[in-house]
Chain A
């Protein structure tokens, strides 16, 4: 244990005020009275002193008996049974008139009648109540109950301190309506430890220490020769929750950095898009199941957007007959109205299409990425959200090939903590070849699918760009890897916005 002098030097002014009184007083109320401090200040001082090993705080619960509403009333007027007796002592009373004559409450009547009869203090004969000899004696005597009420009327009494007779009377009264009540008191007492006793013997209040160094002291040099209060830098302090980014935002920020480091430019755009940009320009057939209401959120108002001219005509041709791409298209008739429908973007490939449409030949090779929300009409459960974070990337380069594609994905997922990447054949309407992207999960020892990729079809690139150039493209779901990192098993926990969870979450550090 620290030596006494050092401890004294660490004492806070509140502690210094309280400590001298602790040899004589132990309760908070007493200490507050003697020191002139508020009870909360005393409590704080006691806690600090306890931390320093000077005292022990003892908390105990005390049960205290007190008069309740009726009890206070009876303390003045006497118990109802006593009043009945004294009324009967004067005259015999018709049973039904007792309540009125003795001036008691109706609800008390049955109880006190029972009590009187059991003590054989009254007799009831043909509806008339009379007092007995026994009753007359009782009238003279003060009962235990009356004594107790008298005692309580002078002040509350701790139940433990009651005599057996008083306790008996208390329990009897307790059964009746609002005569006595038990109050639970929390009592805090401070008791000096052996060490504390030694400390308190020192002259504490005289110790002249300063609590803070002020700018004025620094200017005047007044701090010289002053004694300053010691601070315990190791003491536990309450946790302060500072502001920080939401853990998903931290992850997204990191993802953004990865792509920027690889020389990608960020694409951004509106969450609301036309079907044209989100689907038609990407050669998704107009009868594709993904366009149905159960898969996509369509916007009610405004339900239609504007088609970019003259691009939409080229896209129409590609859908209907392949246009000048060498493809046969899907056949059938392409509907302008279908393409005008507004929706919440279902993938960020929509941004890729818009970016490609604005590119010129001089811009090649070019690399773009985006990270942002996409929306799917999914039923919400532990595995599915309707709002997802998708990373999208494109590389427009006459020399690009699938090998490059895998390289980019490998680089990215390596930095996300998944060094093993596998691509396997898949299918998307806008890419050929198409590849699903899997990463190896080292703990689960299995491949998990995290996205799709491929090289855009000529049916996509040619109308948008005017020429045919390989465009590598990928769209990767991020929730899975973000949840893995934060050890979240229910995907909904990512966006629960529970302050406690957010404060307790570790920082993203890859």
Chain B
């Protein structure tokens, strides 16, 4: 079971109420999560696989504040029309056929926030995404991308971009054989004659799911305010839920969902 490490102060701020320690321990235990320990400011919680929505500070705080009666009822998240398009090419059929995407605007990133987002992404990958097999998530700085975005599949040799944590352009095949992330998740593309990629209107490669993002367009920095999010996999329902969990957490951070 995945564990989540929370900052007690941050959690209290998000929940909007401070509970005495014993009460907090009891309430987190009764929430449907396994409380590991509270030491000083650090809370360690194990999350059950049926509650991937709790895999973020925002998600856990959302559930806890309802549970202790601070803010009850279903949260409503407003989703605006963005007018942007993601075109799914026929070529991804039989490769990685589905994707669910969203845009979140108006975020303020700092080092901590970036880490948090990456943590949510990774926890979801490992659990809900079954190590990226069922669902892989990509998050991109929207200002670097020109829409419409295209999701298509190409031959490994024809894919060329500079992946994250690499200093040169590589082909799809090279990434799988040489890049550390490529080697770790390469088995997910094994035996396929085409690999899936996201490209933008400028024909820049955004990423090659479920392996890695591009260094140019797939890296969030402290200057980023708007992000593009995609989840790719085989079951749209799964991807849809996954996107929802991420955008809800981002909305709780102050973002606006499109």
Q: Which residues of A contact B (CB under 8 A)?
A: 287-289, 331-332, 424-427, 436, 438, 447, 449
User: Is the beta-carbon distance between A427 and B49 smaller than 8 angstroms?
Assistant: yes
Find chain A residues with CB under 8 A from B130 CB.
287, 289
* Complex: A170 Cα to B220 Cα, angstroms: 91
B160 within 8 Å of A by Cβ? no
B50 within 8 Å of A by Cβ? yes
The residue in A288, A289, A438 that gathers the most chain B C-beta atoms within 10 A of its C-beta is: A289
User: Is the beta-carbon distance between A424 and B30 smaller than 8 angstroms?
Assistant: yes
Q: Which of B30, B50, B237 is the one whose CB lies under 8 Å from A427?
A: B50
B134 within 8 Å of A by Cβ? yes
Other than the given A287-B130, A424-B32, A438-B29, 17 more pairs (CB < 8 A) read A289-B130, A331-B235, A331-B237, A332-B234, A332-B235, A424-B29, A426-B32, A426-B34, A426-B48, A427-B32, A427-B48, A427-B49, A427-B50, A427-B51, A436-B34, A447-B29, A449-B34
Chain B binding surface, main DSSP class: loop
CB distance from B100 to the nearest CB of A (A): 15
B154 within 8 Å of A by Cβ? no
Find chain A residues with CB under 8 A from B32 CB.
424-427
B133 within 8 Å of A by Cβ? yes
B31 within 8 Å of A by Cβ? yes
A432, closest chain B residue (CB): B50
User: Is the beta-carbon distance between B49 and A425 smaller than 8 angstroms?
Assistant: no
Binary A-proximity of B29-40 (CB < 8 A = 1, otherwise 0):
111101000000
Closest 8 CB pairs of A and B: A427-B48, A425-B32, A427-B50, A424-B30, A287-B130, A424-B29, A331-B235, A426-B48
User: Is the beta-carbon distance between A287 and B133 smaller than 8 angstroms?
Assistant: yes
The residue in B34, B133, B234 that gathers the most chain A C-beta atoms within 10 A of its C-beta is: B34
* Complex: A406 Cα to B131 Cα, angstroms: 36
* Complex: A331 Cα to B31 Cα, angstroms: 28
CB distance from A403 to the nearest CB of B (A): 17
* Complex: A447 Cα to B51 Cα, angstroms: 23
Find chain B residues with CB under 8 A from A288 CB.
49
User: Is the beta-carbon distance between A425 and B134 smaller than 8 angstroms?
Assistant: no
* Complex: A447 Cα to B127 Cα, angstroms: 27
User: Is the beta-carbon distance between A287 and B134 smaller than 8 angstroms?
Assistant: yes
CB distance from A81 to the nearest CB of B (A): 81
* Complex: A41 Cα to B30 Cα, angstroms: 72
CB distance from A238 to the nearest CB of B (A): 50
Q: Can you sample 26 A-B contacts with CB below 8 Å?
A: A287-B130, A287-B133, A287-B134, A288-B49, A289-B49, A289-B127, A289-B130, A331-B235, A331-B237, A332-B234, A424-B29, A424-B32, A425-B30, A425-B31, A425-B32, A426-B32, A426-B48, A427-B32, A427-B48, A427-B49, A427-B50, A427-B51, A436-B34, A438-B29, A447-B29, A449-B34
B49, closest chain A residue (CB): A427
CB distance from A191 to the nearest CB of B (A): 66
Find chain B residues with CB under 8 A from A427 CB.
32, 48-51
* Complex: A288 Cα to B127 Cα, angstroms: 9
CB distance from A377 to the nearest CB of B (A): 15
* Complex: A468 Cα to B136 Cα, angstroms: 37
* Complex: A362 Cα to B191 Cα, angstroms: 53
Find chain B residues with CB under 8 A from A331 CB.
235, 237
B237, closest chain A residue (CB): A331
CB distance from B68 to the nearest CB of A (A): 14
Find chain A residues with CB under 8 A from B49 CB.
288-289, 427
A427, closest chain B residue (CB): B48
B30, closest chain A residue (CB): A424
Find chain A residues with CB under 8 A from B237 CB.
331
Binary A-proximity of B95-137 (CB < 8 A = 1, otherwise 0):
0000000000000000000000000000000010010011000
The residue in A331, A427, A438 that gathers the most chain B C-beta atoms within 10 A of its C-beta is: A427
* Complex: A426 Cα to B134 Cα, angstroms: 24
* Complex: A320 Cα to B24 Cα, angstroms: 40
* Complex: A424 Cα to B130 Cα, angstroms: 26
CB distance from B234 to the nearest CB of A (A): 8
Interface residues of B in 1-55 (CB under 8 A from A): 29-32, 34, 48-51
Interface residues of B in 225-255 (CB under 8 A from A): 234-235, 237
Find chain A residues with CB under 8 A from B31 CB.
425
Find chain A residues with CB under 8 A from B51 CB.
427
CB distance from B109 to the nearest CB of A (A): 31
Find chain A residues with CB under 8 A from B235 CB.
331-332
* Complex: A358 Cα to B33 Cα, angstroms: 35
* Complex: A424 Cα to B31 Cα, angstroms: 8
CB distance from A219 to the nearest CB of B (A): 75
CB distance from B131 to the nearest CB of A (A): 9
A449, closest chain B residue (CB): B34
CB distance from A438 to the nearest CB of B (A): 8
Interface residues of B in 147-171 (CB under 8 A from A): none
A446, closest chain B residue (CB): B25
CB distance from B221 to the nearest CB of A (A): 33
The residue in B29, B31, B51, B130 that gathers the most chain A C-beta atoms within 10 A of its C-beta is: B29
Find chain B residues with CB under 8 A from A425 CB.
30-32
* Complex: A254 Cα to B118 Cα, angstroms: 51
* Complex: A427 Cα to B46 Cα, angstroms: 12
CB distance from A291 to the nearest CB of B (A): 11
Find chain B residues with CB under 8 A from A426 CB.
32, 34, 48
* Complex: A331 Cα to B134 Cα, angstroms: 12
Interface residues of B in 30-85 (CB under 8 A from A): 30-32, 34, 48-51
* Complex: A427 Cα to B32 Cα, angstroms: 8
CB distance from A277 to the nearest CB of B (A): 21
Find chain B residues with CB under 8 A from A436 CB.
34
